[in-house]
Structure 1
């Protein structure tokens, strides 16, 4: 019985946003469009990494009210992108706002294949 519990614990995804993710940015059914995201959550509450091949310039994370979420800022060189992501089981859901591009985009992510 104990070995089954250990096996089940090893199979479960870690309850963290740390690591590499594949973000689904598809806007049309049947036309996949993904981009990478890599997050490192530091003990001081900061977030480092990259999203859509852009380095995270500043970010914060927090575990509160039963959720683990992070917010961070990246840029495309023309203006800032503000993104938020929350862990939802083994996946993540997020949202990106780019005021200079006049859009708000909802997205989802899965852990990147190793």
Structure 2
């Protein structure tokens, strides 16, 4: 998969507020079952399962089966495309803000 495709999938995945909330709960609280996520989400178990499938396909969560339960945990490198994208634009804006600062200093 190309870098652009994985980044687009990541953005589309995190654009949904329910999916983003599920991901944040897993990232902050550690591995959780579908039942635990459903209890605190305000949405149905099938909807939570569907969101988890999309998060998994985007590389944001991994699942581990334990008996009849599956625990979902955040994947550490899942946000890498987003971080790379932000780094690129951070460099861009830092350069332009430095140039603006130099201009303002010359005007003074």
Same fold per superposition (TM over 0.5): no
Higher Rg of the two aligned structures? 2
Give the number of the structure whose residues are more often helix, by fraction. 2
Provide the TM-score with structure 1 as the length reference.
0.23
Select the structure with the greater relative contact order (CA < 8 A; seq sep ≥ 6): 2
Give the number of the structure whose residues are more often strand, by fraction. 1
